[in-house]
Amino acid sequence: MSIIVVGLSHKTAPVEIRERLAFSNNQIHTALRELVDGRELSEGLIISTCNRVEVVSNAEVAPQQAFNRVSRFLYDYHRLPQASIDNYLYCHSEQSAVKHVFRVASSLDSMVVGEPQILGQVKDAYDMAVEAGTVGRILNQVMQRAFTVAKRIRAETNIASSAVSVSYVAVELANKIFEDLRGKTVFLLGAGEMSELAAKHLLNSGASRMMIATRTFEKAQQLAAEFNAEAVDFVERQQRLSDADIVICSTGAERYVLNPEDIRRALDIRRNRPILIVDISVPRNIDPAIGRLDNVYLFDIDDLQAVVQANLKEREREAAVAESIIDSEVTKLFSRLQAIDIGPTIAALKQHLNDLAVAEFERNRKKLGPLTPEQEQAIRAMLSSITNKVAHPMITHLRESTENGSYSVDVWRKMYHLDEKK
């Protein structure tokens, strides 16, 4: 048994190269059946996303031979000239392969560390391989462990908990000011892709009400219908301001649409319940002097970018923690894999030898003449003792050899046809 990974990712290859090796969902089933022929590779799994193509497999041969097999398959399947993109491919084996799988599943190898999609994509790839029948004992252990590790990393580190896109940042800021977004009102001043996206995120995170005011009332009504929100006349924006907890502004106006006096009045009516104002417009639509008022928190587009940068740094810090979690998990899994592989093999070996002995006994029984119960028992005991003594050196060798390498296990299984149906 040796676990190998062959593939390429956004880290090693540009998109023009990656797309040449990509598998669509329809193709994966047949591709896996072709790849996992039971000769060199006994188990296999293909992960194909827009940022990577990974082939994970359990090989019956030495890693180098397995790498060649997989890359040959990739070239053949996608009708590419052999070795044409070797520079872009990476190969991992054994512990480094398991570590790579863990890192990918935990989003540590992603373009944005901590992104949530990759885990789902890896799970889908696993499901498809299970359906294709190319997942066996070893890959099952590795992948299940990968999912657990990914979950653990999300729970115990902060790599995934901070916003790295400008529209998510609004939600994050809102959470740092208001504990709960439920019952809070979002006021959208002006329309625009980014502001609508931010509003959507806020609604998804629990905000209950939304008001929309654009310079043309029809547009506001249109958007309001879409968002199940209330359309507000632009000229009434100052009056309605006191109802808003979070204001997202991107009107494209040339002058300020809100000034300090409006905010002070609104705060008075709100009895100083805080207001978060996010001004995504360029030029800015909200008088920056407002930011100096108490209980108002004003962020312009540069500030949001700064939050994104800070969060990215935080993710990098957390990634370091995640890496050490992964290292310890890889070691744990590997010793488990080594251990579990012997158990069934030893049992199967013993059973096999025992069956052999008993079969011979049955076959030659007549020649022995009638046997008393004690004689029969003595013979069975003798057979058992012989098989144990014969098996003992094999078993000791098996145990020792798993410390240094792993091929002997499968050699023994092959030698005695332990995996074949009788």
Partner 1 sequence: MNVLLLIAAAFYSIAVLHSILTLLRKRRILVSVSLGSLSIGLIFHTASILGRGMSASRFPLVGMQEAFSFLAWAIVVYYLIAYSLYRVQALSSFLFPLIFIWTLIAAFLPAPQDAPATIRGEWNTWLFPVHTTLILFSYASFFVMFVAGVMYLIQEREIKLKRFGLMFFRLPSLDTCDDISYKSLTIGFVLLTLGIITGMIWGSQRDGRLWHNDPKEIIAAATWLIYLLVMHYRLTAGWRGRRAALLAIAGFALIIFSLVGARYLGGYHAF
Residue 126 in contact with partner 1, rule: CB under 8 A: no
156 counts as binding partner 1 under rule CB under 8 A: yes
How far apart, in whole angstroms, are the C-alpha atoms of residue 33 and residue 36?
Answer: 5
Does 271 sit near partner 1 (CB under 8 A)? Answer: yes
Q: Which of 72, 151, 182, 273 binds partner 1 (CB under 8 A)?
A: 273
Amino acid at 253: A
Q: Which run of H or of E encompasses 299? A: strand 296-300
Mapped onto helix, strand or coil, the DSSP state of residue 52 is strand
Both tokens assigned to 100? 């790579």
Q: Least distance (Å) from partner 1 to the CB of residue 181? A: 10
Q: Is 387:380 a contact under the CB 8 Å cutoff?
A: no
The one-letter amino acid at 43: E
Edge-to-edge strand ranges of the sheet holding 275-279: 230-231, 209-213, 185-189, 246-249, 275-279, 296-300
Residues 170-199 that bind partner 1 (CB under 8 A): 173, 175-180
Could you tell me which stretch among 4-12, 135-143, 272-280, 411-419 binds partner 1 (CB under 8 A)?
Answer: 272-280
* Distance in Å, CB of 38 to partner 1, minimum: 43
Contacts of 192 (CB under 8 A, 6+ apart): 250, 252, 280
Which lies closer to partner 1 via its Cβ, residue 48 or residue 106? Answer: 106
Q: Is 206 in the site for partner 1 (CB under 8 A)?
A: no
Tell me: does residue 314 bind partner 1 (CB under 8 A).
yes
Catalytic residue (one of 15, 50, 339, 359): 50
260 binds partner 1 (CB under 8 A): no
Q: What is the residue whose two structure tokens read 């590795």?
A: 142
For the bound state, the minimum distance from the C-beta of residue 208 to partner 1, rounded and expressed in Å, comes to 16
Token couple for 257:
């649409």
Site for partner 1 contains 272 (CB under 8 A):
yes
Q: Does 305 bind partner 1 (CB under 8 A)?
A: no
Q: Are the C-beta atoms of 403 and 397 separated by less than 8 Å?
A: no
Site string for partner 1, 39-78 (x = CB under 8 A): ----------------------------------------
Question: Any contact of residue 270 with partner 1 (CB under 8 A)?
Answer: yes
Residues near partner 1 (CB under 8 A), total: 28
Residue 249 annotated to the active site: no
Shortest Å distance, C-beta 147 to partner 1: 19
Q: One symbol per residue from 317 to 356: x for binding partner 1 (CB under 8 A), - otherwise; what is it?
A: ----x-----------------------------------
* Separation CA 411–CA 406 (nearest Å): 9
Nearer to partner 1, 136 or 291 (CB): 291
Q: In angstroms, what is the minimal distance from the CB of 15 to partner 1?
A: 32
Give me the torsion for CA of 179, 180, 185, 189, rounded to 10°.
50
**Could you say whether residue 295 binds partner 1 (CB under 8 A)?**
yes
Longest distance between any two alpha carbons in the chain, whole Å: 114
- How far, in Å, CA of 56 to CA of 203, rounded? 40
Q: How near is the Cβ of 242 to partner 1 at its closest, in Å?
A: 12
Burial of residue 329 (number of CB atoms within 10 Å: 0-12, 13-18, 19+): buried
> Does 165 participate in binding partner 1 (rule CB under 8 A)?
no
Residue type, 105: A
Tokens coding 329: 């998990």
State both tokens at 401: 């050899």
- The catalytic residues are 50
Site for partner 1, rule CB under 8 A: 156-158, 162, 173, 175-180, 270-274, 291, 294-295, 297, 299, 303, 306-307, 310-311, 314, 321
